[in-house]
Amino acid sequence: MIRDLVAGAVAALVIVMLAAAVLWSMPVQAAECVGASWYGPGFHGKRTASGARFDQNAMTAAHKTLPFGTKLRVTFQGVSVVVRISDRGPFARGRSLDLSKGAAKRIGLIGPGHGRVCYEVL
């Protein structure tokens, strides 16, 4: 009986340790805060770096290195939007993310034109 209890406790401990190892090995994507701006009217309908036609009202963004198709949750002053990377840029110093006009409008970045946003890769 005691042998069965010990075997059960050991088995439970092994399961907990394996679960912990899996959780610890999973990558954690911390939010990154960067300078951002928006673009739209002059590029609407033109081809993006990914080859897709740019829709200024879509929920898309440009980033210098993230793979095309990557989805991000972008937050500005407590308001978030999910965007998909479809273009390269921005090309203004101090900025790492260019949002489409539609995405910028949804989070309130249109008025100031640029600001500090935080994003997480989904």
Q: What residue ranges define each of the domains in the chain, with the CATH number in brackets?
A: 32-121 (2.40.40.10)
Cα–Cα–Cα angle for 67, 108, 115, nearest 5°?
Answer: 65
Predicted confidence (pLDDT) at residue 23 exceeds the cutoff of 50: no
Alpha carbon distance 102, 94 (integer Å): 22
Per-residue pLDDT tens for 1-18? 676 655 666 666 656 565
Predicted confidence (pLDDT) at residue 20 exceeds the cutoff of 90: no
Cα–Cα–Cα angle for 33, 65, 46, nearest 5°?
Answer: 105
pLDDT, residue 87, reads: 96
Alpha carbon distance 32, 68 (integer Å): 18
Three-state SS for 51? coil
pLDDT, residue 36, reads: 96
Alpha carbon distance 14, 6 (integer Å): 12
pLDDT, residue 31, reads: 84
Question: How large is the average pLDDT for residues 58-78?
Answer: 96
- Between strands 114-121 and 60-63, the pairing is unpaired
Per-residue pLDDT tens for 87-97? 999 988 999 99
Structure pTM? 0.74
How far, in Å, are 22, 66, 86, 102 from residue 36 at the CA level? 35, 15, 15, 14
